[in-house]
Structure 1
Amino acid sequence: MIVLGYNGFSRSSELFQRLYGATGVDRNLLMGHDAAAALSVDGEVVAAVEEERLNREKKTSDFPVKAIGWCTDSTGVRLDQVDVFAFPWKFTSAVAEEMIAGICARDMPVEAKFDHVRRVGELYTGMLSRSAVHDDFVRRTGFEMDPNKLLLVPHHLAHLMCGSYLAGVGDAAFLVSDGRAETLSSVMGELRDGVVTLFDRGTVDMDSSLALAYGKITRYLGFVPNNDEYKVMGLAAYAPPPTRNPLLAQVVRLREGGSYTLSIPGDRRAYYALFDHLFDADPAKREDFDFRVKVASMAQHMVEAVTVHQTRAVAAASGLDTLVFEGGLALNCVGNTKMLERSPFADMEVSFGAGDSGVAIGAAVYAGGLPRRGPKPEPTPYLGPVHGEQEIHEELLRFKDRVEWVELEDGEVARRTAELLSEKKVVGWFQGRAEYGPRALGNRSILANPAFGDIKDIINLRVKHREPFRPFAPVILESEAPRVFEMGKKRRSPYMTFVFPVKDDYRDRIPGACHVDGTARIQTVTARSNPELARLLGAFTERTGVPCLLNTSFNVAGEPIVCSPRDALECFLKTEIDHVVIGRHLVSKKSG
């Protein structure tokens, strides 16, 4: 069975701009953001890529025509061979009626209700309805899809299926929490014997979305909502947890069964005024670093308190040992670790597709059915485009006036790269298939030696062109991780979705990988999961005695992670990266 899962709308940007004034930073709040496509064959995901990697528009919500084209072309599958086209939003007529009823029940003038219903109606007929989704596919691909082959998958179910498939677990409790789905922002339940059961008492509606609340605070602090929340998470580490948190005292109300309500206005001016009141601020103070740290600490503390409340509730209701946590809020890796350690669960899984890029995979998995017979494929994030040596060489020739290179023997790649990294060099690392999701996981990465205490400043300012407070993640062999980090209940962290304290003995040895609070968001690697990166780690540790490398995404601020050799070379030439290794080619800039 062949299934194509995809996420993205051609008209999302147009309609949200015209109907709701969504421009500027609000572009990241559009439905369909992180547009992507994934192809599943007989229950195994064989190809997946985000549209932004190909059209070079970060967090694009556009219909993923390039991603679909790559998935089919790279696997030799024609669209007329696809059995199911799975789309991770299900706005049925019943959902539309629920949306209309919700508007009518609000406390607002009747004229405002009519206006709101009009706008929702245009959004539904122009983008969200089944016929609009079908017509969008036909118009953008030119393929006359059989309407009976289109399967609309509920958004939160797509998140769950992505997490369950990639975790490789059978029975598990689950929690999904994101900005919004069709009508809810968070659900919990369990997956047992292939059957999904929702715990109704744990559902949370969109008006109380924790992820959107965190996004509003992100915007209040001058960052981009639904994009820069990790900056707020990073800033929070510069202050201890607050002894008094007005967000928990006046905004959040925890309820039995794991649900909660949040009282934050939807209008920007109204919630800015609320935050100014809660945080004792005025517009002039919002740019102050100490003020940002204080507010970020309170926002992070709020997320941790609410998600721990949810985790304990789903554990009590399920009794299973493992929790699958998905949705945009699951990218808050600091909160993830605290959720697990403060819960009865023995383990918690968060996938590399936890955000909305993952729902394309999840929709495909749901339509194709979780694999139940025979050995299950080992989950891998390396599902994207790969480029052969000839293509790499052709791209290098295009830049021959600005770069020079040597072609290494296979066995020399790790040794020569480790030699460079033993110095204070920054190296772009471009190998194999592109990884999927928002994190660079060792195939489209920038690497450096964490033994140098100022390496973070060098990369932030001279390479990434971003704020100096931003931390970087270490990548380490899975077998070595417990020696360097306090892993708690975890034994592995392959997708940078958990944060761990660095052991005292190693804080002075890898200062470049330690955040201000002595923690690190780690990626663990094995020879099976990423052979080339594992060889490099082995060679680097043997040469230097340093057990890990600093790993950050191969891009600059505001741009998607590089996908092709051309992307890599262009990024290399406009930054102060010292060298880039593309396949077997060690590339340097020409002097003068």
Structure 2
Amino acid sequence: MIVIGYNGFTDGAETFGRLYGATGIDRHSILGHDAAAALFVDGELVAAVEEERLNREKKTSDFPVNSVRWCLETAGKSLEDVDFFAFPWAFSPELTADMIGDISGAGLTVEQKFDRLRRFGELYTGLVSKEAILADLRRRTGLDIPADKLVLVPHHLAHLMCGHYLAGGEDTAFLISDGRAERLSSIMGEVRDGRIQVFENTVVGVTHSLALLFGEITRYLGFMPNNDEYKVMGLAGFTGPRSDNPLLKHVVELQENGRYALALANEPSGTRAYYGLLDELYGVREGEREELDFRIRLARDAQEMIEVVTAHQLGALQARTDLRRLVFEGGLALNCVNNTKLLEESGFTDIQVSFGASDPGVAIGAAAFVNGVQRRPRRTPATPYLGPSYDDDAITAALREQAEHVEWTELDPADLARETAKLLSEKTVIGWFQGRTEYGPRALGNRSILANPGFPDIKDIINTRVKHREPFRPFAPVVLEHEAPKVFEMGKKSSSPYMTFVFPVKPEHQEAIPGACHVDGTSRVQTITDESNPLLAELLRTFTELTGVPCLLNTSFNVAGEPIVNSPADAIQCFLGTEIDHLVLGRFLVGKRAPQR
């Protein structure tokens, strides 16, 4: 059976701009953002790529026509070969009727109700109904399929099935928490004996969305919601928790069964209503919101709020299930500081957070759902390296296009790791482009910027000269899995392959890797093995032999506001537009030509 999972709408950005006044990147931030496609053949995930990597529009919500075509082409399949198309939103007639009832019963004026119903009606008929999704598929691919070949998968179940499939398909408890699904923002339950059970008395509605509130705090602090929440998480590390947290006192209320309620859940203006409340609680004026001291204080309170609320949820889940493995998915699962605390302070023996935890993963999850909950091992290990790769001919063609600006040396593959390690032993920054593009929001070693974390100022060099972003931003170390426990306090985890957990750096190693330590002495760690990424593992071994430094600094190969590079041309363009010192493009070592006088 051949299944394509995909996420994205042709007219999504235009619709949300017209109906809800969304502008800029916000137009992509409501439904369909992180558009992508994933291909399953006979139950196995064989290809997946995010549309932004191909159309170069960050966070795009467009119909992923390029991604669909690439997935099929790389597997030697055609659109006509596809048995099912799986879409990770399911606004069924029954659910839609309930949502209409929610609007009608809300504490709004008659005029406000009619306005919401009008806009929701246009959204439903023009974008999210099954008829509209079928029409969009036909418009962008030219393929006219019968309605039963399009399977609409509830958004949270798509998140769940991405995590469940990539974690190995075993029985597991689950927590899904994100900004919004169709009507809810969070669910909990079990996958047991091939059956999904949602614990209905634990669900949280979208008007009480913790992730949306965290996103609005992100905007309030001057960052971009649904994109920059990790900046707030990073800022929180600059100070410790306070005994008096206004958010826990006045904004969120913990309830029975792991549920919670937000103070302004029913305000007509939505999460923007919190601006006035935050101003009042913190005694700030609008111009003071972006002052660093205030940003740190509110960021710490917001982070603690996330930690307290999700621990409350896990406490209720743990009391309800005897399963001790947990799959945690949804946008909130990208908060890696919280993930570690949840694991260490709960009775769960392991928490799995996938490389597709946020909305890129729902394309994988929707297709996995159609394949069914199968309690059997995958034929191949889970890997994030699912996107396009480029051979020597494609790389040399891209280099020749920029021959006026770059020069290159072809290395013997046997020498690649050693030559790169020699360069990294100095205070240099290297663009590293190898193999298939990673899937998800993190660069995991194939489209990465690498540097030596032994230099204390390497973070400042990369933030200011390369990434063009805020100086407080930390970077992640990549380390061989068997070496990780020697350097980091791993707790219950034995591996962290997707940068979804944070660990304290052991005191004796903090001076050795200052460039990879956050201000609070922690690191967001990526572990690798010879099986998961053999070339990067070889580079790490060689680098450690040369320098004695046990890890490399790894950050995404892009600049602020741009998607991670995908093609050789993307990599060369980014290299030329930054102060990256060297580019290792496949087996080619690339430098910049001195400008001619």
Normalising by the smaller structure, the TM-score range is over 0.9
Other-structure match for 2:310: 307
Alignment of 1:362-401 (within 5 A): 362-373=365-376, 376-401=379-404
Other-structure match for 2:594: 591
d(CA) in 2 for partners of 1:28 and 1:63?
11
Counterpart of 2:437 (choices 429, 434, 438) is: 434
- The answer on whether the counterparts of 1:381 and 1:436 sit within 8 Å (CA) in structure 2 is yes
- Return 5+ residue gaps in structure 2 as ranges: none
With normalisation by structure 2, the TM-score equals 0.98
d(CA) in 2 for partners of 1:464 and 1:348?
31
Other-structure match for 2:254: 254
Establish whether residue 279 from structure 1 lines up as the match of residue 277 from structure 2. Answer: no
Deviations 1:160-217 (A, max 9, x none): 0000111114011000000010110000000011100111121000010000000010
Deviations 1:69-103 (A, max 9, x none): 11111111111111110000000011111111000
Judged with a 3 Å threshold, the aligned counterparts in structure 2 of structure 1 residues 549 and 490 are, in CA distance, closer, same or farther, namely same
Establish whether residue 218 from structure 1 lines up as the match of residue 221 from structure 2. Answer: no
d(CA) in 2 for partners of 1:373 and 1:270?
48
- The answer on whether the counterparts of 2:194 and 2:374 sit within 8 Å (CA) in structure 1 is no
- The answer on whether the counterparts of 2:220 and 2:275 sit within 8 Å (CA) in structure 1 is yes
SS in 1 for 2:342: helix
- The answer on whether the counterparts of 2:38 and 2:47 sit within 8 Å (CA) in structure 1 is yes
d(CA) in 2 for partners of 1:331 and 1:16?
25
Other-structure match for 2:409: 406
Residue identity opposite 2:592 in structure 1: K
Cα displacement (A) at 1:372: 3.9
Establish whether residue 450 from structure 1 lines up as the match of residue 447 from structure 2. Answer: no
Deviations 1:24-71 (A, max 9, x none): 352342210000000001111000000000000000001000100111
- The answer on whether the counterparts of 1:43 and 1:371 sit within 8 Å (CA) in structure 2 is no
d(CA) in 2 for partners of 1:267 and 1:330?
23
SS in 2 for 1:133: helix
Judged with a 3 Å threshold, the aligned counterparts in structure 2 of structure 1 residues 37 and 482 are, in CA distance, closer, same or farther, namely same
d(CA) in 2 for partners of 1:78 and 1:368?
19
- The answer on whether the counterparts of 1:173 and 1:324 sit within 8 Å (CA) in structure 2 is yes
Residue identity opposite 1:154 in structure 2: P
Establish whether residue 87 from structure 1 lines up as the match of residue 87 from structure 2. Answer: yes
d(CA) in 1 for partners of 2:236 and 2:556?
22
Q: For this pair of structures, how many residues does the alignment match? A: 592
Other-structure match for 1:69: 69
- The answer on whether the counterparts of 1:424 and 1:449 sit within 8 Å (CA) in structure 2 is yes
Deviation larger for 569-578 or 26-35? 26-35
> What is the Cα-based RMSD across aligned positions, in Å?
1.0
Judged with a 3 Å threshold, the aligned counterparts in structure 2 of structure 1 residues 267 and 373 are, in CA distance, closer, same or farther, namely closer
d(CA) in 2 for partners of 1:99 and 1:196?
24
Cα displacement (A) at 1:146: 2.4
d(CA) in 1 for partners of 2:569 and 2:59?
20
Establish whether residue 348 from structure 1 lines up as the match of residue 351 from structure 2. Answer: yes
Deviations 1:202-244 (A, max 9, x none): 1000010000000010000000010000000000001111211
Other-structure match for 1:110: 110
SS in 2 for 1:103: helix
d(CA) in 1 for partners of 2:172 and 2:271?
39
Establish whether residue 124 from structure 1 lines up as the match of residue 124 from structure 2. Answer: yes
Residue identity opposite 1:438 in structure 2: P
Cα displacement (A) at 1:17: 0.7
Deviations 1:310-369 (A, max 9, x none): 111111111111000000000000010011111000000000000000000001111112
Other-structure match for 1:166: 166
Deviations 1:428-453 (A, max 9, x none): 00000000000000000000000000
- The answer on whether the counterparts of 1:28 and 1:225 sit within 8 Å (CA) in structure 2 is no
* Amino-acid identity (%): 63
Other-structure match for 1:233: 233
SS in 2 for 1:304: helix
Alignment of 1:454-493 (within 5 A): 454-493=457-496
Establish whether residue 531 from structure 1 lines up as the match of residue 534 from structure 2. Answer: yes
Counterpart of 1:330 (choices 321, 328, 333) is: 333
d(CA) in 2 for partners of 1:390 and 1:544?
34
Counterpart of 2:543 (choices 532, 540, 543) is: 540
- The answer on whether the counterparts of 1:448 and 1:549 sit within 8 Å (CA) in structure 2 is yes
Deviations 1:109-153 (A, max 9, x none): 111111110100000000010000000000011111222200000
Residue identity opposite 1:540 in structure 2: F
- The answer on whether the counterparts of 2:90 and 2:152 sit within 8 Å (CA) in structure 1 is yes
Cα displacement (A) at 1:405: 0.6
Cα displacement (A) at 1:270: 2.7
With normalisation by structure 1, the TM-score equals 0.99
SS in 1 for 2:455: coil
- The answer on whether the counterparts of 1:499 and 1:521 sit within 8 Å (CA) in structure 2 is yes
Establish whether residue 321 from structure 1 lines up as the match of residue 324 from structure 2. Answer: yes
Deviations 1:518-559 (A, max 9, x none): 000000000000001000001100110100000000000000
Residue identity opposite 1:15 in structure 2: T
- The answer on whether the counterparts of 1:36 and 1:357 sit within 8 Å (CA) in structure 2 is yes
Other-structure match for 2:203: 203
